[in-house]
Structure 1
């Protein structure tokens, strides 16, 4: 049996999976805000409680924001900033008194879950996309996450938006210090800001899509612009990685229109014959549970 832990900014979720992928136990607790040490202790407590309920010692996989730097062994690039600069893998192994603990970026865990027994099951190469508060990604090849020399494989959100139009230069400021990053265009807050600037109304991303479906002209225009930018950004991924499937996760993955319109638009940007593109754009099978399931799948059967 395997335990998966999703270490988020507001909650820590854990589950136990049998070798056949069936769920044996699940637990969710708030993420402590007071310190890094309290966060480590909370993860350890979740593991202990899950093992007690499962009645067995389990291998442990944990998905976390950011990455473990190959150069320093410390967490970097985590939006849960209390993790940055700490040896999370070392501290968890020490606190749990075991070595059978594996860690990976949370977007990698999402991609692993959807490649293992989700929407991308049976595909050799899967690109998992997070479209939410931020924009992240993970690459899975033959069931294994690609980490990379700098532990940043799949971080497409901090590339520049491809083929920018004149009115898209230099692009919005990104928290990373650059301008025009994919994340600064395609995150949920960015999409909401674009609509607010055009309409004077403050709507959530999924509500903008609903307004477009109901015939709202401004919402339709903003949604079409979003789809075209997403198509350009994903076309660059296809040109580089040539995946069998791209699976969307995060809050914006709940917009059905994306799965219809974006593959139509990316035909103009992918370096292949227009009607021969076989990469599939798919909604997640496991939804919000993909991250925690993917953490468990860091340990293969």
Structure 2
């Protein structure tokens, strides 16, 4: 059996998968925030609990974390769980759990999950996309995760928005500190901020992304205009992925992946920016939902 762990900022979730990929047990505990040693103990205790529920020894452990994971050292950086930065998480968990541990970025885990037995199952090249509070991505080729020599493969959120219009320059500030990145436009807060800019300062506090989506359904013309701009920008950004990677399928995850019209509106907006005469890449919603990350960690 194998254990997947999703080490988030507020919770640590674990899932046990059998050899057939079927779920044997699942549990979650609160994350001991800013307590590195407490996190190790929470994971050790969670593994013991899940072994008892699954009825057997867990031989393999994979863990997904926010941020960049150094392939050589296993150290985590650039994530919002700052207490993990610079620590030998892989080595420490291997010691505490007394078994091998693999570690990867949580967006990579999402992509792997959907490629193995999700929306991208059977495809040769899968690009997994996270559209949530941030923008992330992961690449799976022939069922294997591609991390890259710098461990940043798939980080399309930190490229400039392609072909920016005059009113898109220099663009909003990204979480990494550089203006105009894809994440600054296409993450949930970016969508909400774009709506607020169009509404003007008299409109009051900026809503959340889901509020904007809800207002589209009620016929709010500014919300509709904002979502149309979002779709067009998403088309431009994904066209870069198609031109570089040429994936069989692009799987969307994160909160904004639940906007059902994206799967109809965005592909025609990708096509004009794709080189060549053909555009057969499929844009699809994820299958495993919030479980994709933890399932992908198990498949590591």
TM-score range, shorter chain: over 0.9
Kindly report structure 1 stretches of 4+ aligned residues shifted beyond 6 Å.
none
Query: Over residues 146-188 of structure 1, what are the superposed CA-to-partner deviations in whole Å (9 max), with x where a residue is unaligned?
Result: 0100111101101111100111111111221211111111110
Q: Is the contact between residue 34 and residue 82 of structure 2 (CA under 8 Å) also seen in structure 1?
A: no
Q: CA deviation at 1:67?
A: 2.5
The aligned length equals: 295
Q: Whole-Å Cα distance in 2 between the matches of residues 289 and 71 of structure 1?
A: 28
Q: Whole-Å Cα distance in 2 between the matches of residues 93 and 151 of structure 1?
A: 20
Q: Whole-Å Cα distance in 2 between the matches of residues 187 and 230 of structure 1?
A: 10
Query: Over residues 207-253 of structure 1, what are the superposed CA-to-partner deviations in whole Å (9 max), with x where a residue is unaligned?
Result: 32232233221111100000011111100000000000000101101
The equivalent of 1:64 in structure 2 is: 65
Q: Whole-Å Cα distance in 2 between the matches of residues 70 and 110 of structure 1?
A: 18
Q: CA deviation at 1:54?
A: 1.2
SS at match of 2:272: coil
Q: Give the TM-score taking structure 2 as reference length.
A: 0.95
1:253-292 aligned within 5 A: 253-273=257-277, 276-292=278-294
SS at match of 1:6: strand
SS at match of 1:90: helix
| Alignment of 1:244 onto 2:244 | no
For the aligned residue pairs, the C-alpha RMSD in angstroms reads 1.3
Q: CA deviation at 1:50?
A: 0.7
Q: CA deviation at 1:53?
A: 1.4
Q: CA deviation at 1:44?
A: 1.6
Q: Whole-Å Cα distance in 2 between the matches of residues 155 and 48 of structure 1?
A: 34
Q: Is the contact between residue 44 and residue 96 of structure 2 (CA under 8 Å) also seen in structure 1?
A: yes
The equivalent of 1:54 in structure 2 is: 54
Query: Over residues 96-117 of structure 1, what are the superposed CA-to-partner deviations in whole Å (9 max), with x where a residue is unaligned?
Result: 1222x11111001100110111
Q: Whole-Å Cα distance in 1 between the matches of residues 267 and 273 of structure 2?
A: 10
The equivalent of 1:83 in structure 2 is: 84
Consecutive unaligned residues in structure 2, runs of 5 or more: none
Q: Whole-Å Cα distance in 2 between the matches of residues 40 and 241 of structure 1?
A: 37
Q: Whole-Å Cα distance in 2 between the matches of residues 165 and 271 of structure 1?
A: 20
1:79-228 aligned within 5 A: 79-99=80-100, 101-199=101-199, 200=203, 202-228=206-232
Q: Is the contact between residue 34 and residue 83 of structure 2 (CA under 8 Å) also seen in structure 1?
A: no
Q: Whole-Å Cα distance in 2 between the matches of residues 34 and 47 of structure 1?
A: 21
SS at match of 1:268: helix
Q: 1:73 to 1:60 in 2, by over 3 A?
A: closer
Q: Whole-Å Cα distance in 2 between the matches of residues 223 and 243 of structure 1?
A: 25
Q: CA deviation at 1:203?
A: 3.1
Q: CA deviation at 1:122?
A: 0.8
